[in-house]
Amino acid sequence: MAQDSLITVEHLSRRYGEQVAVNDLSFSVARGEVLGFLGPNGAGKSTTMQMLTGNLAPGTGRITINGIDLLEQPREAKRHLGYLPEQPPLYRDLTVDEYLRLCARLHHIPRSRLGAAVDDAKGRCGLGEVGRRLIGHLSKGYQQRVGIAQAIIHNPAVVILDEPTVGLDPIQIREIRHLVRELGGEHSVILSTHILPEVQATCDRVQIIQRGQLVLSDSIAGIRQRMRGGSLLLGLQHPPGEAALLAIPGVQGVETLEPQRLRIRYDSEASTAQGPAEALAQAAVEQGWGLFELSPEQRSLEEIFVDLTTRDDAPQPGEAA
């Protein structure tokens, strides 16, 4: 993977005065990968994105974009970069066409290919019919699309989108997600968002940042694995005592939710992903407990997110080694 990483970040740090915004962050994004970047407000997401796009200089660390060092050759590296900031950088008194032409020129697209590049970006973002309208007169959703069009007009290797679906209606959100997936085909995409289902729908990999540090970096498949959790819901007409359940191999804990419903905890890291489900069913049948429900308990991504980002033992900025 290391050879085909379009963006590599090593030991990135940035502080504002005494406050550490980003602390020793390292990651890479492969070609064709969509990375979901999650974190609570103030965790350092936007700061990281600003550093990746050259809007902020990092305190320490190295950023490589398409093999080019962003700090040593900023102009070369930025050619391969498309960025949609949290608030789309639009000139409200230009028309969509004028604005996109300006963006294309800023990215050194030669005059001869200007029209084609503008048309292509407009087509991909569904802006075909609003080309002659003033950006200031467009709805929020269309403005957001113009912002995305601006980020992809020069066909960059790395596209960085900071909350691209804010303020869009559900249909537009679906379109934008589709577009992001499409971009993921040939580019690397980093997508920052607060909307967790969006991550599940569009990303290949998820990264959660908390207090400027990575607390989770996993593929979507890995996240699904985590979501399966370490617990089963068990419904019994005649529940036996806890001791009898704990005696079944694999069961680590029993929690009574209602008189006839129990939560069984097991070690999710163990080799059998299904846990003690089979053994439980067998025991229930043999001993006549009256089994009526047995299901793996799903944790949502939200629960994982909350769990990781509110954990108290996350290292404090000051004591980080």
Partner 1 sequence: MIHTLAAHELRSLFLSPLAWVILAVVQFILAWIFLAQLDLYMELQPQLATMEHPPGITELLVTPLYSSATLLMMLVVPLLSMRLLSEERRARTLPLLLSAPITISQIVLGKYLGLLGFLLLMVLLSSLMPLSLLTAGRLDLGLLAANLLGLSLMLAAFAAASLYISALTQQPVVAAVGSFGLLLLLWIIDWSGGEGVLGWLSLQGHYQALLQGLFSSADVAYYLLFITTFIVLAIRRLDAERLQN
Contact residues for partner 1, defined by CB under 8 A: 14-17, 50, 53-59, 74-76, 78-79, 81, 83, 85, 87, 89-94, 102-103, 105-108, 150
What are the residues facing 12 on neighbouring strands? 25
Identify which of residues 89 and 197 has a Cβ nearer to partner 1 in the complex: 89
> To the nearest whole angstrom, how small is the minimum distance from the Cβ of residue 126 to partner 1?
21
What are the residues facing 261 on neighbouring strands? 235, 258
What are the residues facing 263 on neighbouring strands? 233, 255
Identify which of residues 56 and 195 has a Cβ nearer to partner 1 in the complex: 56
Identify which of residues 59 and 131 has a Cβ nearer to partner 1 in the complex: 59
Tokens read off for 115: 């029209």
> To the nearest whole angstrom, how small is the minimum distance from the Cβ of residue 80 to partner 1?
9
Identify which of residues 160 and 304 has a Cβ nearer to partner 1 in the complex: 160
Q: How far apart are CA 191 and CA 38, in angstroms?
A: 9
Identify which of residues 133 and 299 has a Cβ nearer to partner 1 in the complex: 133
Short-list 40, 50, 42, 38, CA closest to 9: 50
Identify which of residues 159 and 234 has a Cβ nearer to partner 1 in the complex: 159
Tokens read off for 235: 């419904």
> To the nearest whole angstrom, how small is the minimum distance from the Cβ of residue 298 to partner 1?
39
Spatial neighbors of 183 by CB under 8 A, at least 6 apart, are: 34, 152, 159, 189
> To the nearest whole angstrom, how small is the minimum distance from the Cβ of residue 49 to partner 1?
10
> To the nearest whole angstrom, how small is the minimum distance from the Cβ of residue 15 to partner 1?
7
Q: How far apart are CA 36 and CA 177, in angstroms?
A: 12
Short-list 205, 192, 94, 66, CA closest to 150: 94
C-beta contacts of 219-223 below 8 A and 24+ residues apart: 223/301, 223/304
Q: How far apart are CA 13 and CA 32, in angstroms?
A: 26
Q: How far apart are CA 154 and CA 105, in angstroms?
A: 9
Identify which of residues 94 and 279 has a Cβ nearer to partner 1 in the complex: 94
> To the nearest whole angstrom, how small is the minimum distance from the Cβ of residue 106 to partner 1?
4
Question: Angle, to 10 degrees, between the axis of helix 170-186 and the axis of helix 140-152?
Answer: 0
Identify which of residues 92 and 140 has a Cβ nearer to partner 1 in the complex: 92
Q: How far apart are CA 92 and CA 222, in angstroms?
A: 43
Tokens read off for 320: 């980080």
> To the nearest whole angstrom, how small is the minimum distance from the Cβ of residue 277 to partner 1?
51
> To the nearest whole angstrom, how small is the minimum distance from the Cβ of residue 78 to partner 1?
4
